Structure 1
Amino acid sequence: FQHFQEFKNRIGAIGPSRDKWFADPAARDQICVNILHAADLSNPCRMFEMAHRWARLVLREFFAQGDLEVKCGLPVSPMCSRDTTLLAASQIGFINFVILPYFKVMGEVLPEVQMLVRQVEANLHRWQSLEKRRPAVFTTPGPEPSGSACEG
């Protein structure tokens, strides 16, 4: 997240004025980099039903990685253990520590992003409600990793 820190530093240096950002080619490039990164992180910004679906798909991918790490005798990476990772808790942490800070800073320069921040905040409340009612571990099994990945 080095580019995020650089983005925050530039906001501190030139302020949130859109005119200043678009007049400066380096600042404009920095906005583009951050928009691209925001697109990569944007699943929690969608309507809750879609955000929930994507969260499950992402965890399925993480769990496949964790299964492979176990099979290879490696330590399991954070969020990759199907035995300990909670769906709602994982999303609450991701939103609080990555998504909201990132999109709030983006919204300082691009006010249109505030709409996404409001959706993320609504989704956060839904995840918190789900966590209070049922902190179930996400246990949908993924495909077995092939043995060749650990060989050689």
Structure 2
Amino acid sequence: MAGKRDISDVVGASVPPKEDPTNTTTRARRSTTLSQAAAAAKKTTTPKYVQLRGDQQIELDVLARELQGARESKAERITANTVIRVACDFLLARRDVLEGDTEDQLRSSLLSYVKHLEDRSTRLRELEEGPAPEAPAPKTRARRQSSSS
């Protein structure tokens, strides 16, 4: 005798019970935004495979070692993965400056933005310090004009 089949027969899992509207746990979970989920996920790390060029891997390791050696507080180790996570945070914070359809175009737009920031910083520093002092004019002897009468 074939009876009514429910979804659990088809997928091999039990169907979750209907949500209780008075249950604050499910209501809070349902109202969680992407940014709230991202904030919670920030507390843990998960592996993400990324293909790096040979020069990137070498420079990344060198940079991590330099930062590791230069740190004053020894509380946290700085590794290549640390540097990658910091770079990722920077990219995500400035996602609006990324433009292009290719890796080269994306890289170029980001590097142009960084160059713009450096130029702006230089101009602000120059404004704060004032104009550079002018070099004194070289002293020249005044020529005597002979008056012929």
Query: Of Structure 1 and Structure 2, which has the larger fraction of its residues in helix?
Result: 1
Using the size of structure 1 for normalisation, the TM-score is 0.21
Q: Which has the larger radius of gyration?
A: 2
Structure number with higher relative contact order (C-alpha < 8 Å, ≥ 6 residues apart):
1
Using the size of structure 2 for normalisation, the TM-score is 0.21
